[in-house]
Amino acid sequence: MTRLRRTLLFVPGSTPERIAKAVTSQADAVILDLEDAVAPGEKARAREWVVAALRGVDFRGRERIVRVNPLDSPHGRADLEAVVPTGLDALLVPKVSGPEELGRVEAEVARLEADAGLPAGRIRFHLLVETVAGVARVSELARGSARNAALLFGAGDFVRETRGRLTASRVSELHALTHLLLAARLGGLDAIDAPYFELGDPRGLEAHARLAADLGYDGKAVIHPGQIEVVNAIFTPTPDAVANAHRVLEAYDRAQAAGAGALQLEGQLVDAVHVAMARDTLARARLAGVA
């Protein structure tokens, strides 16, 4: 683990004032959105503002991601031609449904990188898995490009396609959430949860994010700065979790020195699995500055 992705803040590319505020937030990444958040008539201007931000704004170490329009749309190729030469960190590729489609995006990005004199493979991909076809083929997508860094679940479009309902229990999303998580882990990628769209509902946001964290997700997309604190807290190890991880590792080291492979700590069996989990907890805590 080399980068935290607890919170990925969506910012419409047509709102430069919000971009300026986003880089002072506590989000781990900023997604400058050229797709759904921008009206058709504003696409060209938004593209200019996003390029200006990528070239001129200090993101203070936050991951700089742009959600482009689909390559086969009227705006997708122009988006790539504009943003790739800036050397941004990652593209959020929307509505990706199969490795063939992903391959076409990768070929175009590779060409534009070469034209701009950028190192090959510099720009990473976050894949927005938001269609039934995308969920069905998510394991292929996860392995479809060496550029892949994360899978981001798009709940709204997915549930619309299944004719389900978005509910507080998230029952209509659970299969897709689990399927995407397993594909991410098999591919060595981060798994990012969908946004919660009810603003001003911190309890609902907490429950929404808690389910994803309990499943094993690494973080969550957010659509308002007011959601960042709640989500960061859920995806950051608590002081108790950090202290327990230290106790597990110290006790295990003592047991190994004595020739034992497992032990009991405060009435709980501790073996190699618990040690690996403790190490993961501390790695995340160090990146978050709480270890």
Report yes or no on 226 lying in a domain: yes
Distances in whole angstroms, Cα of residue 214 to Cα of each of 58, 174, 207: 34, 12, 10
Q: pLDDT averaged over the chain?
A: 94
Report yes or no on 1 lying in a domain: no
Over range 138-160, report the average pLDDT: 97
Report yes or no on 130 lying in a domain: yes
In this structure, the answer to whether residues 225 and 263 fall within a common structural domain is: no
Range with the largest mean pLDDT of 28-32, 95-99, 266-270: 28-32
* Residue in the structure block whose two tokens are 């919170």: 7
Report yes or no on 33 lying in a domain: yes
In this structure, the answer to whether residues 220 and 267 fall within a common structural domain is: no
Residue 152 — pLDDT band, cuts 50, 70, 90?
very high
Task: Among 197, 214, 234, identify where a domain stops.
Answer: 234
Task: State how far the Cα of 280 lies from the Cα of 286, in Å rounded to an integer.
Answer: 10
DSSP class per residue in 179-190: HHHHHHHHHT-E
- Of 111, 115, 109, nearest to 88 by C-alpha is 109
In this structure, the answer to whether residues 206 and 253 fall within a common structural domain is: no
The pLDDT value recorded for residue 261 is 62
Report yes or no on 280 lying in a domain: yes
Least confident of 125-129, 136-140, 276-280: 276-280
Partner residues linked to 52 by β-bridges = none
CATH number at residue 72: 3.20.20.60
In this structure, the answer to whether residues 80 and 102 fall within a common structural domain is: yes
Note the pLDDT tens digit of each residue in 47-59: 999 999 999 999 9
Residue 257 — pLDDT band, cuts 50, 70, 90?
confident
Q: How far apart are the first and last CA of the chain?
A: 15
Q: Is 32 helix (H, G, I), strand (E, B) or coil?
A: strand
Report yes or no on 82 lying in a domain: yes
Q: Which domain does 270 fall in, by range?
A: 239-288
In this structure, the answer to whether residues 81 and 218 fall within a common structural domain is: yes
Residue 33 — pLDDT band, cuts 50, 70, 90?
very high
In this structure, the answer to whether residues 164 and 268 fall within a common structural domain is: no
Report yes or no on 209 lying in a domain: yes
In this structure, the answer to whether residues 229 and 248 fall within a common structural domain is: no
- Of 282, 181, 268, 191, nearest to 237 by C-alpha is 282
Over range 3-31, report the average pLDDT: 95
DSSP class per residue in 120-138: TT-SEEEEEE-SHHHHHTH
In this structure, the answer to whether residues 243 and 230 fall within a common structural domain is: no
Task: State how far the Cα of 270 lies from the Cα of 248, in Å rounded to an integer.
Answer: 7
The pLDDT value recorded for residue 270 is 76
Task: Among 234, 254, 277, identify where a domain stops.
Answer: 234
Backbone angles phi, psi at 33, to 5 degrees: -100, 120
Task: State how far the Cα of 88 lies from the Cα of 264, in Å rounded to an integer.
Answer: 48
Does position 254 have pLDDT exceeding 70, yes or no?
A: yes
> Residues 254, 262: contact at Cβ < 8 Å?
no
Torsion of CA 68, 73, 78, 79, to 10 degrees: 0
Report yes or no on 104 lying in a domain: yes
In this structure, the answer to whether residues 229 and 245 fall within a common structural domain is: no
Task: Among 194, 219, 234, identify where a domain stops.
Answer: 234
In this structure, the answer to whether residues 60 and 201 fall within a common structural domain is: yes
